[in-house]
Structure 1
């Protein structure tokens, strides 16, 4: 991972060069990522949003709920190459044409010793796959859950204090059911404005 080179940008989105991933985060340089949010339609017509549970082996934000599948784009890659994250992290193969683009969402996460400035190429994928179809990458993803999109929206808009998430976590080769409440601190601390833009984008697609 230390050998990964990322294209760097200024705050206006102009390319400024490239740098190793560790330096990009240490220096707080803008760089590109791929984000894909999975959603599904329930039999009653309601929309569910899918969330990954980050592996406890992760250096950053271990054990927190996050974007369904995401990763950095290397210097030689385009957003289309990001589709590999779905196969690597979730074990599913889909064509890039199946994704709904939401555009580039720039945002910053500033934690102790770690300044992450991302230009996120964001996509939505509607899926009808059952949970059993997903084979998770253990060093990256510990589990997979769904939540009501309406409740998820209310959480980030401030009208709910918690939401119900259901799915599974891996313990070795066993899938352990999850059915619990999640609060804001259960999630990776992306800017609230990022989550609100995701909500607006999904709402527009499924309007």
Structure 2
């Protein structure tokens, strides 16, 4: 069965693979045109800087830089005598190395993993990990990546549909309370980590796993790349989550009740008008009323409406991320 038959997904291709699609281009321009900054930027003073920059003194440097004496060096560098070398450069007797293991190696149990990053045979997810410049430096288990704050890659996909009045309705999930990060928070419609050796094309499976919607990468619209860092506690365990996320949007005809929710990941699926969510993220209103479905005790979808949601109920991110995404989703279905 085709994706269009399953979910009424708009036929829009992936940027870079199907060029010249005007519908998709207009959404991407919403993120990057003058006066509307790209996903991953925030306003500081008179201009915009990347979310991975922070203010130091009179200027801005990357968050992954730190001050040493009179200058700045990368956090992934360390001082050796009078110079600096990368933290992932080791003498020959150290374990590990920068070579990316093959997918087959990872699936066979991680023979290519560093000695302190094996999964112990427990079948835990294995991630590719990266330095602050997004250069591959090895692999780690999910728990290790979150415990040690190791950079890894994720996939975000937001679904949007045209409401009966022609306005864009953004769908978003409530995370399961059993999640190891941000349990019970409202979040992206579907998202997931890239396992070691995987690409975004592989990660599109998250839509089918979490929501029962089968689509291909070509049916999604790329919205940009987003870097974020988050710290917290879930299930009694502290975590440091550092992610580089490829962000996509997808138009659908389905309302929340039409989806099949994965209990392990999703507690409920909701929708609200893009304009109302934009007002929420801009601080123009304190709450919005949303409707959708929650999973009942036996796994059935129970309709709910009039649920009041605040900005703090969403996973904590720079509001600029949500604003740019919701603006772009509106373009997808309203233009």
Query: With structure 2 as the length reference, what TM-score do the two structures score?
Result: 0.58
Secondary structure of residue in 2 paired with 1:189:
coil
Residues 108 and 191 in structure 1, CA contact (< 8 A), matched pair in contact too: no
Alpha-carbon offset, residue 153 of structure 1: 0.8
Alpha-carbon offset, residue 2 of structure 1: 6.2
2:284 maps to which residue? 159
Alpha-carbon offset, residue 110 of structure 1: 1.9
2:250 maps to which residue? 125
Q: How does 1:77-116 map to 2 (within 5 A)?
A: 77-112=198-233, 113-116=238-241
Q: How does 1:13-52 map to 2 (within 5 A)?
A: 13-52=134-173
1:197 maps to which residue? 324
Greater share of residues in strand: 1
Alpha-carbon offset, residue 204 of structure 1: 5.2
Alpha-carbon offset, residue 12 of structure 1: 2.0
CA distance in 1, matches of 2:257, 2:327: 29
- Which stretch has the larger CA shift, 54-63 or 6-15? 54-63
Q: How does 1:161-200 map to 2 (within 5 A)?
A: 161-171=286-296, 172-179=298-305, 180-200=307-327
CA distance in 2, matches of 1:111, 1:141: 20
2:124 maps to which residue? 3
CA distance in 1, matches of 2:264, 2:130: 29
Alpha-carbon offset, residue 175 of structure 1: 2.4
TM superposition outliers: structure 1 runs of 4+ over 4 Å: 203-207
Cα 1:204–1:12 shift into 2, 3 Å: farther
CA distance in 1, matches of 2:266, 2:314: 14
> Aligned pairs, how many?
207
CA distance in 1, matches of 2:257, 2:271: 13
**CA offsets 1:69-113 (integer angstroms, 9 cap, x no match):** 000001110011111100100011112211001121111112242
CA distance in 1, matches of 2:212, 2:315: 22
- Which stretch has the larger CA shift, 93-102 or 32-41? 93-102
CA distance in 1, matches of 2:325, 2:129: 24
2:272 maps to which residue? 147
Structure index of larger Rg: 2
Alpha-carbon offset, residue 44 of structure 1: 1.4
Q: Name stretches of at least 5 consecutive residues in structure 1 with no aligned partner.
A: none
**CA offsets 1:95-146 (integer angstroms, 9 cap, x no match):** 2211001121111112242111110011001000233321111111111110
Q: Name stretches of at least 5 consecutive residues in structure 2 with no aligned partner.
A: 1-121
CA distance in 2, matches of 1:199, 1:175: 26
Match among 43, 46, 56 for residue 177 of structure 2: 56
Query: With structure 1 as the length reference, what TM-score do the two structures score?
Result: 0.92
